[in-house]
Chain A
Amino acid sequence: MNYRGPGRVRAEEKPMPEILHPEDCIVKVLRSCICGSDLHLYNGNVPDTRVGSTFGHEFVGEVVELGSEVNKLKLGDKVLVPFNIACGKCSFCRQGLYGNCHESNPEATAVGGIFGYSHTAGGYDGGQAEYVRVPYANFGPTVIPEGMDLDDAVMLTDVVPTGYQAAEMGGIQPGDTVVIFGAGPIGIMAAKCSWLFGAGRVIVIDHNEFRLEFVKNYAKCESYNFKSIEDPVQFIKQTTDWLGADVCIDAVGAEAAGSAMQTITGRKTLMQAGSATALFWAINAVKKGGIVSIVGVYGPTGNLVPIGNVLNKGITIRANQASVKRLLPKLIDHVQKGTIKPKALITHRMPLRNVSDAYRIFSDKLDNCIKPILIPPTVKE
């Protein structure tokens, strides 16, 4: 996959990745996903996204080459690779903040290294490819348990941990009303996981009917189209006895629809770091003293959000890139026991050579697409 500019990608031959550090390994990709946050890159909203980059931070594969100091993996291991690149040694990693590693991104201190996510996130080529270089191979890549479906495994690299952490950061207490803005894969997973923390009511807001129908069935929650309810904030207040939700989750980020002003200033003219409609609604719809959990991705500049209301309502905001490695043991267990069935979200399987069409379908939500995966030509299914 080769990025050529906003809205333009193509499949192209690139040189094989090489071991550049003794703790690197090379992984032959077996599956990769397109993530909703890839669309921020695709649309040219993330600064320092260079033409010629390869995206893709959700992938699984087989280890085909090892650096001289890698001793936790062996050739032929099938691994799932967390989207964030973490050393496991810096003081942030040692506190479980694996999405905030200080030894994987020289270009920015605000974010750790992420595969295929611009030079702002370290300048790594990503996994929408046949082969990919994986740093810190003794720490990041996790051997896929025997018998686990690769489609489930690839969803554990980002979607499941991010959705789970969205609910976790909400500090959900038994009986809480949780409102999730966004019925994309992360919002769907956040809805599912909110029940595991004991939510009393889970509500999802979006505008794509097929996704709303999907989340209603998959997560057994309420789902509403913000185009029909007109004012989602007032609707949430009304449906929570005029108090607001205990927890609101922004599972959309910079590509949000629903407000012309946010769309024009955030997506069309880049006067702010993406359209902050979902976050705007989340802050206004949560109850006083409530919690807003942010996993939707925004750019690094700034956004139009009602920060005054955060102060006046005494809201707690928690946000972070998912700490995948921290959550994996628990989430692998949940998947193996059938508590979470992530591969059900995969609606499209496409050859890597059709990456341009795959991005278009996912970006424009065509053909009822929820989650597309790309299969490299080296993989026989």
Chain B
Amino acid sequence: MEKIAKGIPDIKDWGIDADPENDPTYPMKPNRTDEEQNGYTWERSVQQAETVEILKSTERPNLSAVFGTSVPPKGLSGAIRRYAYKNSEGQFSHWLPLLIADRVNVVEGIIDDLKKGKVPNIYAEKGFNAMWKYNRKAAIGMIAANVAAVSALGLFLFRGRIFNEGKSVKKALQNYNM
């Protein structure tokens, strides 16, 4: 140990936790009790009451003794989540619908805000102030991208009108020239 330490930078407490005997190390069950060989038999805490809808993995027989109760499933995203939880964690049909539900939930969140009379300040929520202060280039890029996206959406939505108006102008010019 001392010999090895000679080539080492001056490190306070170098090697104090070295334990060549501890191999293989955590999490290789150093304190293996083999209790799990007896199955699901341990003494459980009191079961927490299910006061809101909890979606349970199909890979366990019950709810865990405690669980979180934040944001129960609801709306379209909730329906997708309920479907996802019918499939085991080993299947993509569990995880991919959950990712889709998360995206649907974002739209639901904006609608919820609007229903409460609150227009979400998406710029502030994205930390635009910090971006403006410390990375102005990215902030301007964000504004430009948003302007471009809104313009593209506007062009798409009103394309018929713009096209028809264009045709009318062309026709008027033709009539004038005649």
Could you list which residues of chain A lie within 8 angstroms of chain B, going by C-beta atoms? 4-10, 20-24, 44, 47-54, 69, 85, 87, 89-92, 94-97, 102-110, 113, 119-120, 122-125, 135-136, 165, 168-169, 171-175, 193, 195-198, 200, 220, 270, 299-301, 316, 318, 320, 323, 326, 330, 334, 337-339, 356-361, 363-364, 366-367
For the A-B complex, the count of residue pairs with Cβ-Cβ distances under 8 Å equals 259
Pick from A6, A22, A196: contact of B13, CB under 8 Å: A196
Report the minimal beta-carbon distance from A338 to chain B, rounded to whole angstroms: 8
Asked if B71 lies at the interface with its beta carbon under 8 angstroms from chain A, I say yes
Please state if B45 and A103 are interface contacts (CB–CB under 8 Å). yes
Interface size of B in residues (CB-CB distance below 8 Å) = 86
**Residues from chain A with Cβ under 8 Å of B85 in the complex:** 107
Please state if B70 and A123 are interface contacts (CB–CB under 8 Å). yes
**Which chain B residues (1-52) contact chain A, with CB distance < 8 Å?**
1, 4-5, 7-18, 20, 22-33, 35-36, 42-46, 48-49, 51
Please state if B49 and A339 are interface contacts (CB–CB under 8 Å). no
Cα A23 to Cα B15 with chains together (Å): 40
Please state if A119 and B33 are interface contacts (CB–CB under 8 Å). no
Q: What are some 5 contacts across the A-B interface (CB < 8 A)?
A: A5-B106, A10-B120, A87-B44, A87-B45, A173-B18
Report the minimal beta-carbon distance from B12 to chain A, rounded to whole angstroms: 6
**Residues from chain B with Cβ under 8 Å of A92 in the complex:** 36
**Which chain B residues (114-142) contact chain A, with CB distance < 8 Å?**
120-122, 124-131, 134-135, 138
Cα A364 to Cα B133 with chains together (Å): 12
Secondary structure of the A contact surface, majority rule = loop
**Residues from chain A with Cβ under 8 Å of B30 in the complex:** 96
Please state if B33 and A168 are interface contacts (CB–CB under 8 Å). no
Please state if A90 and B102 are interface contacts (CB–CB under 8 Å). no
Cα A195 to Cα B105 with chains together (Å): 46
Please state if A359 and B26 are interface contacts (CB–CB under 8 Å). no
Closest to B38 in A: A91
**Residues from chain A with Cβ under 8 Å of B89 in the complex:** 108-110, 300
The interface stretch among B92-100, B145-153, B154-162 is B92-100
Please state if A168 and B44 are interface contacts (CB–CB under 8 Å). no
Given A108-B89, A366-B134 in contact, is the A47-B102 Cβ separation under 8 Å?
yes
Please state if A356 and B45 are interface contacts (CB–CB under 8 Å). no
Please state if B138 and A123 are interface contacts (CB–CB under 8 Å). no
Cα A363 to Cα B44 with chains together (Å): 40
Could you list which residues of chain B lie within 8 angstroms of chain A, going by C-beta atoms? 1, 4-5, 7-18, 20, 22-33, 35-36, 42-46, 48-49, 51, 54-57, 59-60, 62-71, 73, 77, 81, 84-85, 89, 92, 95-96, 98-99, 101-103, 105-106, 108-109, 120-122, 124-131, 134-135, 138
Cα A256 to Cα B123 with chains together (Å): 25
Please state if B49 and A20 are interface contacts (CB–CB under 8 Å). yes
Report the minimal beta-carbon distance from A275 to chain B, rounded to whole angstroms: 16
Cα A300 to Cα B22 with chains together (Å): 30
Please state if B18 and A172 are interface contacts (CB–CB under 8 Å). yes
Given A102-B64, A168-B25 in contact, is the A198-B14 Cβ separation under 8 Å?
yes
Closest to A369 in B: B134
**Residues from chain A with Cβ under 8 Å of B126 in the complex:** 7-8, 356, 360
Cα A89 to Cα B65 with chains together (Å): 11
**Residues from chain A with Cβ under 8 Å of B25 in the complex:** 168-169, 171, 318
Closest to B55 in A: A107
Please state if B45 and A52 are interface contacts (CB–CB under 8 Å). no
Which A-B residue pairs are the 6 nearest by beta carbons?
A360-B127, A123-B68, A124-B68, A5-B106, A198-B18, A47-B98
Please state if A357 and B45 are interface contacts (CB–CB under 8 Å). no
Please state if A169 and B65 are interface contacts (CB–CB under 8 Å). no
Closest to A49 in B: B102
Please state if B101 and A48 are interface contacts (CB–CB under 8 Å). yes
Report the minimal beta-carbon distance from A102 to chain B, rounded to whole angstroms: 7
